[in-house]
Amino acid sequence: MGVDSGIPVVDRVRPLVRENLHAIAPYVPGRPIADVMSEYGLKDVVKLASNENPFGPSPKVVAALQHDLDAIHRYPDGAAKDLRAAIATQHGLQPESVLVSNGSDEMIKMLSETFLDHGDEVVVPYPSFAQYSFGAMVMGATIVQVPLRENLEYDIEAMVKSVSSRTKLVYLCTPNNPTGSWLTHEQVRYFLDRIPQNVIVALDEAYLEYVTSTDPVRSLELIREGRPVLSLRTFSKIYGLAGLRLGYALGDPQLLAFVNQVREPFNVNVLAQTAALVALSDQEYVALMRDKNEQGRKQYYESLDQLGLSYCKTQANFILVNVGNGLAIFDAMQRLGVIVRAGFAGLSQYVRISIGTTNENARCLQVLEAVVER
């Protein structure tokens, strides 16, 4: 049969695409430094948009990666046995209680592929990490958004009431992205005690290592109790390995075995596995990064108080600041060489600023003051 050149390809294939996919908008990441430099003719740009570790990984990790470059022509260990064993040892678990992924994004998508059918419900806080909704929409599930309180903290009672007989999966992001607000262990336990015991609760703890609160969530305790709880963690934040894409989940081995069925055979590459093994072994570096981040938090608190700008207290490596018009301030700041983040649903008056080095923070605050006053 000949090609009907009068009909665009996209119109011909559109009916073949699953209906629920038409409503999905692609994820928009923070702007790359190179793009901003090129667009505005800048030679020096600071990126504080993607919650990356501004100091990079441990020097021991960099040395190990350079040593292992000659192994990249080989397939990685698909089961990531050594890495899973190392993660398990650190947390006092068995390797079967660990599943690794190509970043937390892939883990969230795998949870959706494993547990969700068309019409199932996924309860998520709002606003929170956009990928929870993305994974649910791919599978045709219904997203139940539970608004945070006016102070942008969790409304636990509302979360409990939102769980129905159709709920299969609940996400609790703590510290929450993009607000920085967090849950206590007692709040999580209260929630778990009041929902059906067959609902899977995914605790997204991407920023766990930055937490300094007095009552942090003890997810391992909940897992050992036999709760259907998964702790989602990552090497992208405090470990400084965002470019290598490596996340993992901790949970009941039988629960993770179902998720493993949808995992791609070689989803974690050779260098990511090498880097993670070494990063885990250098907990002194992790402690140093936590201290530097705490210093950065205080730097922002003091300066924002002086500027008269309201903000959310944070337990993560970013801070949400009320600037009146988030997108306008974002645009003005990038023109002066500082990239922050704006445009979060439900948070139009805010910008989210990643905590950088002392000098990066100072420059950001200087630019923020200039554009707000202007």
What's the CA angle centered on 172, arms 200 and 268, to 5 degrees?
75
Same domain, residue pair 67 and 141:
yes
Q: Give 223 or 16, the one with higher predicted confidence.
A: 223
**Could you list the residue range(s) of the whole structural domain that residue 328 is in?**
9-56+284-373
β-strand 142-147 against 121-126: which pairing, if any? Answer: parallel
Same domain, residue pair 237 and 309:
no
pLDDT value, residue 287: 97
Same domain, residue pair 126 and 263:
yes
Domain end among 281, 305, 324: 281
pLDDT value, residue 237: 98
> What backbone torsions phi and psi does residue 284 show, to the nearest 5 degrees?
-65, -40
Predicted confidence (pLDDT) at residue 363 exceeds the cutoff of 90: yes
Same domain, residue pair 154 and 199:
yes
Q: What is the pLDDT of residues 24-38, one digit of tens each?
A: 887 777 888 999 999
Same domain, residue pair 75 and 169:
yes
pLDDT value, residue 10: 82
The tokens of 235 are what? 């090497």
Distance CA 84, CA 254 (A): 16
Same domain, residue pair 15 and 97:
no
Give the rounded percent of residues in the chain with a pLDDT score beyond 90.
88
Predicted confidence (pLDDT) at residue 130 exceeds the cutoff of 80: yes
Distance CA 260, CA 92 (A): 21
The tokens of 43 are what? 């030679």
CATH code of the domain covering residue 42:
3.90.1150.10
Q: SS3 sequence, the chain?
A: CCCCCCCCHHHHHHHHCCHHHHHCCCCCCCCCHHHHHHHHCCCCCEECCCCCCCCCCCHHHHHHHHHCHHHCCCCCCCCCHHHHHHHHHHHCCCHHHEEEECHHHHHHHHHHHHHCCCCCEEEEEECCCCHHHHHHHHCCCEEEEEECCCCCCCCHHHHHHHCCCCEEEEEEECCCCCCCCCCCHHHHHHHHCCCCCCCEEEEECCCHHHCCCCCCCCHHHHHHCCCCEEEEEECCCCCCCHHHCCEEEECCHHHHHHHHCCCCCCCCCHHHHHHHHHHHHCHHHHHHHHHHHHHHHHHHHHHHHHHCCCECCCCCCEEEEECCCHHHHHHHHHHCCEECECCCCCCCCEEEEECCCHHHHHHHHHHHHHHHHC
CATH code of the domain covering residue 79:
3.40.640.10
Let me know if residue 181 belongs to a domain.
yes
pLDDT value, residue 5: 65
pTM: 0.93
Give 353's contacts (C-beta < 8 A, 6+ positions apart).
48, 300, 318, 319, 320, 321, 340, 341, 364, 368
pLDDT value, residue 3: 58
* Mean pLDDT for the stretch of residues 135-152: 95
Let me know if residue 108 belongs to a domain.
yes
**In the structure, what pLDDT confidence band is assigned to residue 114 with cuts at 50, 70 and 90?**
very high
Predicted confidence (pLDDT) at residue 1 exceeds the cutoff of 60: no
Q: What is the pLDDT of residues 36-62, one digit of tens each?
A: 999 899 999 999 999 999 999 999 999
Let me know if residue 340 belongs to a domain.
yes
Let me know if residue 2 belongs to a domain.
no
Question: Taking all residues of the chain, what is their mean pLDDT, rounded to a whole number?
Answer: 95
* Mean pLDDT for the stretch of residues 217-230: 96
Same domain, residue pair 149 and 247:
yes
Let me know if residue 217 belongs to a domain.
yes
pLDDT value, residue 2: 56
Q: What is the pLDDT of residues 9-23, one digit of tens each?
A: 888 888 888 888 888
Same domain, residue pair 187 and 320:
no
Domain end among 233, 263, 281: 281
Let me know if residue 1 belongs to a domain.
no
Predicted confidence (pLDDT) at residue 197 exceeds the cutoff of 80: yes
Let me know if residue 3 belongs to a domain.
no
Q: What is the pLDDT of residues 310-348, one digit of tens each?
A: 999 999 999 999 999 999 999 999 999 999 999 998 999
Q: What is the pLDDT of residues 81-98, one digit of tens each?
A: 999 999 999 999 999 999
Domain end among 219, 247, 281: 281
Structural domain total, the chain: 2
Let me know: does 238 contact 210? Beta carbons within 8 Å.
yes
Question: Nearest Cα to 170, choosing from 115, 228, 111, 122?
Answer: 122
Same domain, residue pair 124 and 270:
yes
Same domain, residue pair 114 and 181:
yes
pLDDT value, residue 21: 83
Q: What is the pLDDT of residues 178-193, one digit of tens each?
A: 999 999 999 999 999 9
pLDDT value, residue 124: 98
Let me know if residue 14 belongs to a domain.
yes
pLDDT value, residue 23: 81
Same domain, residue pair 234 and 327:
no
Same domain, residue pair 173 and 313:
no
